[in-house]
Structure 1
Amino acid sequence: MAIENVLLGVAIHMLFWEHLPHWGTWFLKGVGKLPTSLQTLYEQWRCPYCAGFWIGLAVHAATGRWLFEAFATLPEFWGALGMPLGWFLDALVFALLNKLGVLLVAAIGWPALRGHKEKMSFLESKKAA
């Protein structure tokens, strides 16, 4: 399994749907200038599973690496359909792992952010005293 593909996919999803929209107004202004159909697509792809499928295809195309090598060599009876089917199945599993990765990062992040906020609050109260 090419775990680096999954890590890259989670990073891409976090960047485009969790971070860039909050780093000033430039990103959302750019999205707002896209054609309506692409704006709708961006909004619908907030789901890490949905976006993960397409991210998986893009990562596969960009790196040439299969998430699971078994999908590279499907049985002969698939004939010419074997390669596209392999890409589809690889991206489908990628989507599942992408969703799991995004949920895992969010689950770890919430307690960490809460702890940081409480620590800052505690330090501020020490300064005031």
Structure 2
Amino acid sequence: MTYQNLILGLSIHLLIYEHLPHWGAWFNRLLKALPLALQTLYEQWRCPYCAGFWIGLALHAVTGQWLFDSFVHLPTWLGVTAQPLGWIMDALAFAVLNKVGILFVNAIGYPALLGYQMKQEFIARKSVAQK
């Protein structure tokens, strides 16, 4: 199993769906400038599994790396459908791991955010008490 594409896929998903929409109005203006069909796809692909499938396919096409090597050599009786079927199954496996990765990042992110907020409140109270 190669994990490089998976980490890159998680990063792409986090960037496009969780960070860019909040980094200023430019990205949201860009989305509104897209044709309605592409705007709809963006909204529908917020799911880490759905977006992960397409991200996995795109990364496989760009890098040539398989997430699981077992999908490279499918049975010969599949004929010409073996390679496209291998790509699809690899992207489906990528989608599952992408969703698990996003859930994991969100799960550890919430307690980290709470801890950061508590620290900031503590520092603020301490500086008020010293004045």
TM over 0.5: yes
Aligned CA RMSD, in angstroms, stands at: 0.4
1:24 has 2:30 as partner: no
SS at match of 1:39: helix
Determine the structure 1 residue equivalent to 2:60: 60
- Identify unmatched segments of 5+ residues in structure 1: none
User: 4+ runs of 1 displaced by more than 6 Å?
Assistant: none
Letter in 2 for 1:61: A
1:1-129 correspondence runs (5 A): 1-129=1-129
TM-fit CA distance, 1:75: 0.5
TM-fit CA distance, 1:128: 0.4
- Count matched residues: 129
TM-fit CA distance, 1:63: 0.6
Separation of aligned partners in 2, 1:34 and 1:74: 39
- Identify unmatched segments of 5+ residues in structure 2: none
Letter in 1 for 2:13: H
